[in-house]
Amino acid sequence: MPHDQRPIGVFDSGVGGLTVLRALQAALPDEPTVYLGDTARVPYGTRSAATVVRYALNNARTLVKRADIKLLVVACNTVSAVALDALRQDLPIPVVGVIEPGARAALAAVGRVDAGIGVLGTAGTVRSGAYPRALAQRGHTGVATAVAAPLFVPLAEEGWTDGDVPRLVAARYLQALPADVEAVVLGCTHYPLLAPVIALALAESHPRARVVDGAAATAVDVTRVLDEQGLRAPSDTHPTHRLFVTDSPEQMARLSRAFLGREVSAAQIELIDVEMTA
Ligand code: DGL
């Protein structure tokens, strides 16, 4: 088997993608990783598709140039919704997004193609129609309802993930979903941090529905692509994990336990500028 010691690159608009990084590191413990949170420009979810494509190209080119990544994981639904084609055309490496795995996880959770499925995402993700499209491509014939839940992003970035405020916000967003949805996809990588309060609110408003997160399914896709293309790292090395941000390493450090499952100090997080060439 050929091996490739280069890292897997992962990026998001901010700290949300750390929830995907965590699933990747759990599934692929031998793989080195490098994560970029574009914290100077978060949120992406309220911006136009053209701006999101430009930011995505900036981030991806930065990871290729600075870290020589072998595969890119777009750990952001907003970017996955509008920029996957542009990234695939631009980069010489495989690109894996989070929407297709999220749709697959939702269908697996409901176990029926005609079940009602709800999606919570950013305004950009909802506007793109990417989830209903991905679900339909996988054979879903039921109603797919996507609802924009933009307030979850600053709540997650602030680490304000439990108590009355996020629960009331969740209850309000869930009102927009049809009564018969059987699954609610967390269609933004910031939202898994709020999964417990979303589940509490959902138990009140839609007791038959469950919360779905596509992070583990994304790790399955990454594993498959690494295997298909002979890109796995050798198993006898200690992988390094680098973290980049474009603003405030302290903020990511403060949230690292919640998002990544382990404490990282600000000194271990590199403050960088992205390539502005796109
Ligand atoms: N975490 C991102 C997503 O998955 C977007 C959050 C934002 O920047 O608005 O969509």
The answer, yes or no, to whether residue 278 has pLDDT greater than 80, is no
Annotated catalytic residue 189 = no
Which of 102-111, 149-158, 192-201 is predicted least confidently?
Answer: 149-158
Ligand 1 pocket, residue 25 CB under 6 Å: no
Ligand 1 pocket, residue 77 CB under 6 Å: yes
Atom of ligand 1 nearest to the CA of 150: 9
Kindly give, in sequence order, each residue whose CB lies less than 8 Å from that of residue 219, ignoring residues fewer than 6 positions away: 20, 23, 24, 26, 27, 28
Reported confidence tier of residue 222, pLDDT bands at 50, 70, 90? very high
Ligand 1 pocket, residue 59 CB under 6 Å: no
The answer, yes or no, to whether residue 2 has pLDDT greater than 90, is no
The answer, yes or no, to whether residue 158 has pLDDT greater than 90, is no
3-class DSSP state of 91:
coil
Distance CA 228, CA 180 (A): 39
3-class DSSP state of 33:
strand
The answer, yes or no, to whether residue 1 has pLDDT greater than 80, is no
Ligand 1 pocket, residue 61 CB under 6 Å: no
Reported confidence tier of residue 155, pLDDT bands at 50, 70, 90? very high
What does the mean pLDDT of the chain come to?
96
Atom of ligand 1 nearest to the CA of 121: 10
4 alpha carbon – ligand 1 mean position (Å): 30
The answer, yes or no, to whether residue 49 has pLDDT greater than 70, is yes
The answer, yes or no, to whether residue 223 has pLDDT greater than 90, is yes
Q: How high is the pLDDT of residue 159?
A: 87
Domains of the chain: 8-97+216-271 (3.40.50.1860), 99-213 (3.40.50.1860)
Kindly give, in sequence order, each residue whose CB lies less than 8 Å from that of residue 196, ignoring residues fewer than 6 positions away: 161, 162
234 alpha carbon – ligand 1 mean position (Å): 32
Reported confidence tier of residue 53, pLDDT bands at 50, 70, 90? very high
DSSP string covering 169-186, please?
A: HHHHHHTTS-TTEEEEEE
Q: Could you give the maximum distance between any two Cα atoms of the chain, in Å?
A: 52
Atom of ligand 1 nearest to the CA of 44: 8
Ligand 1 pocket, residue 153 CB under 6 Å: yes
**Rounded to two decimals, what is the model's pTM?**
0.96
The answer, yes or no, to whether residue 163 has pLDDT greater than 80, is yes
Annotated catalytic residue 188 = yes
